[in-house]
Amino acid sequence: MKLLEQNNRIFFRFAGLLLLAGAVLFYWAVNLIIRREIDEKLLVNQQRTVQLLDQGKPLPQFAPIVEVRVFMERPYRPEGYRDTMIYDPVEKEDEPYRQLVVQVEVSGQFYEITNRTSLVESEDLLLAIGICTVGLALMLFIGLIWLNKRSARQLWRPFHQQLETLRRFSLARSESLPFDRSGIDEFDELRAALLQLTDKAQADYRNLKAFTENASHELQTPLAIIRSKIESLIESEPAEEQMYALGAIYDAANRLSRLNQSLLLLTKIENRQFGDTEPVSVAEVIREQLDLLAELTESRDLRIATELTGNLTVSANRSLVEILVKNLLENAFRYSRSGSRIIVKSDAGILTFSNPGTTPLEQPDQLFQRFQKKSDHNASLGLGLAIVREICGVYGWAVAYEFSGGMHAFRVQLGG
């Protein structure tokens, strides 16, 4: 959930409850005021009726508004204000009334005076006020929603602009991010922090890139000299023991050279130095790599079965796709016996490399870590699958291992 939506939920819940409580309180206050006005009116009418009785004028009778009853002695009946329902013969229904009942003694005679007033008009007035109040509260609530969304869109625009700029940020580019000042203190502070962070990241990236390239170059040069010198010594036909030692040194130098190149490749992939992308046909890459490795497969009498259905195409750097396919093929070749059948299959965005085996590999979750390899294959550097995992991480692909039906299978889910 977005921060703005979370903030709006809290704001609108509070505003809705506040408006509802305000509407109820306003309705109650208006009802109380009307009731007090009615009670005051009833009291005035009662006082006027008593004055008429004191003046000896005829008893006022206007049912059901004014009723005066005469008693020889004080009646023991409840007095005061109360609500009642009286049948209206005109409307032919019971209607609500507010009445005041008092008992007075005038010239030795006891009277019970009942003054009433209809509550129909008051209830209609309250209903109209209630509808107006609810309508006003609803309009205010809708207006607050519109105003809050409009103002939030304006206020948060600098943040979204900075976020979009960050999405386009690349360490490989040397220019600073084009963050504009917003005039809002918090976003300007964020802008300054982002500029400092990205400038520092770019500087670190350039230093790391220069270091890895220099280190690779400086290592490759003496390694090339060592191999050249060893080859010269081998050509001079030394003694058998010396030939064996020179062979071991030559193999170690070659291994060190390949290790250096693999680590450099891993660093470049992690630093996203393969930025160029293009539509790449996976089937075409597989066929090219199989042609390049044909000599190896023939020397080990390996049979390759390809099941490439559809025209599987990905948007990626072609060199990285070639490295991924090459590493998975070499992994299948390396751990297969002579005469084995290796299956390469692509279907529904899934690329599978399978080779025969007897038991599943131990600790499969560690296969894609650096320098993880089977102990009986010392020629392996233990970096091929780690490079595969890094390439998949660049494009959001998924790579996994499973063992089924006597076959080791490495599957790459292309496209995430």
Q: Which two tokens stand for residue 42?
A: 């009833």
Q: For residue 274, give the 3-state DSSP assignment.
A: coil
- pLDDT higher than threshold 70 for residue 309: yes
Residues with Cβ < 8 Å from 271, sequence gap 6 or more? 171, 205, 208, 209
| Average pLDDT, rounded, for the chain | 79
Q: What pLDDT, on a 0 to 100 scale, did the predictor assign at position 311?
A: 77
Instruction: Give the mean model confidence (pLDDT) for residues 190-216.
Output: 78
- Torsion (CA) 47, 53, 58, 60 in degrees, nearest 10: 30
Rounded Cα distance between 341 and 297, Å, is 10
pLDDT per residue as tens digits for the range 212-267: 777 766 666 777 777 787 777 777 777 777 777 777 777 777 767 766 666 777 67
- Residues 6 or more apart from 373 whose CB is under 8 A from it? 380, 381, 382
pTM: 0.50
Kindly state the helix (H) or strand (E) to which residue 165 belongs, with its residue range.
helix 157-167
DSSP conformation letters of 191-206: HHHHHHHHHHHHHHHH
Upstream peptide bond of 64 is cis (omega within 30 degrees of 0) = yes
pLDDT over 70 at 380, yes or no: no
Ordered DSSP codes for 74-111: ------EEEEEEEEETTTTEEEEEEEEEEEEEETTEEE
Residue 179 scores a pLDDT above 70: yes
Q: What is the pLDDT of residues 1-57, one digit of tens each?
A: 566 667 777 777 887 788 788 878 888 888 888 888 888 888 888 888 888 888 777
Pairwise CA distance, residues 331 & 313, whole Å:
23
pLDDT at 173: 67
401 strand-pairing partners: 410
pLDDT at 416 over 60: no
Is a pLDDT exceeding 80 seen at residue 275?
A: no
